[in-house]
Structure formats: C-alpha cells, structure tokens
A = this chain, B = another copy of it.
Amino acid sequence: MLKNPVVLLDLVDRLANLMRSEFRRIGSDEGLQPVHIQALMFLEQANRFSNTPQALSEYLGLTKGTVSQSLLLLARRGLIERYQDEIDKRVVRLRLSQLGEAFLSESTPAALWQTATRDISANRVRFSVSVLRSIVYELQNYNGGPPFGVCSTCVYCQRKSQRIHHCTWFGERLSGPETRKICREQVPKTGYLSVAE
C-alpha cells in the first residue's frame, strides 16, 4: 500500500530527476553539469547575506570542498565573479558576471518548468508552495542546515515604510527588491509555513 506522503516524495524525486535532465541538456553546449546550472540559478537569487560558497554548499547539500571546485570552474569560465568580503577577510562573495547573467537569460533553465506549470492556477501553485516549504523547514530541523527562503516571508523582515524594509537579524536596511531574494537565515512567519492562505 502506497501512502500519500510517500507518493509525494516520489513525485518530488521524479520532478527533480526530470529537471536534472533538462539542466544537463541546457549545460551540454557549454560543457556545464547540472550542478553548475543549479549554482548559477542560486546565485541569481541569493541575497547579499547568502552569496557565499558556504551558503551554496548548504543549499545544495554538498560538501564545501566539492562546491569549491565547481565554483572554481564557473569562475574560470567567467560566469561568476569572486571577491573578498570587506569585514571578514575569510569569506568569499560570489556574484554572476555579465556573461553569467547573459547565459542564464539565454538558456533560461526554468523555461520548461514555466511551460509545464502554465495551466496551473496561481492559487494551486501557492498552496503547493506552502506545503513544500513546510516540508523543507521540517527536514532542515532534522538536518541542521539553514532553511533558506525569501526575505519577505521572514520573521526578521520588518517593513519600515513604503519602500524601506529592515532585517532585524542582520540589523541592516533592505530595499524592496532585496526582500524578494533568497536568504539563508530565513525563518518563515507563521501563515507562510503551515497555513495555505
């Protein structure tokens, strides 16, 4: 007998496998592996507290050594840029180069996904997002790693005015666009975790 949560796991695995194939196809022209595409996509979305090798390795669930090598390759190809953090001289900051941005906007790794979800109502997508988000959150509890999530749904994200937000975790101001990026320290507000709107 197949219990429903297991079916869900099955579907998640299967979707990931399908997208992995898609990423492989997309990267093959440039000699990039699926993991490289994933890294680029992460860097496209990571906010300024989360654009480090450490964050990426936690996000991907790979060891830092492994990720370090992948990042070196991406840097050699000129797809990303690396620079030292001003405050903490140990940390390396990462960002997409112009070439990297161009690559993503040309190859559009999410295009197939967009097509496949085209006919699903916004409500149903939002609902599923909230379910999966809560599963990620739970898995992280048992896994130790940070949960990751968009700023705007985080308990630390305070709206100061029309366009000024403030992160009470890092104690810094955030612009509107920044609050739509992914942060490694995100802790979802209740209402975004277990309730589906």
* A residues lining the B interface (CB < 8 Å): 1-2, 4-22, 38, 45, 59-61, 110, 112-120, 122, 124-129, 131-136, 138-140, 142-143, 148, 150, 177, 180-182, 194, 196
Contact = CB atoms under 8 A, between A and B. Distances in A.
Contacts of A118: 138
Contact of A116 (B110, B113, B142): B142
Q: How many copies of this chain?
A: 2
B13 A38 contact: yes
B8 A128 contact: yes
Contacts of A20: 61
Nearest to A112: B142
A148 B7 CA distance: 12
Contacts of A196: 124
Contact of A14 (B21, B59, B127): B59
Given A2-B180, A13-B16, A16-B17, 5 more contacts: A2-B181, A9-B113, A17-B59, A112-B142, A115-B142
Given A117-B138, A128-B127, A19 B9 contact: yes
Given A124-B131, A125-B131, A6 B110 contact: yes
A183 to B, nearest CB: 12
B143 A18 contact: yes
Contacts of A182: 10
Contacts of A15: 12, 16, 132, 135-136, 139
B8 A129 contact: yes
Contacts of A13: 16, 19, 38
A10 B4 CA distance: 22
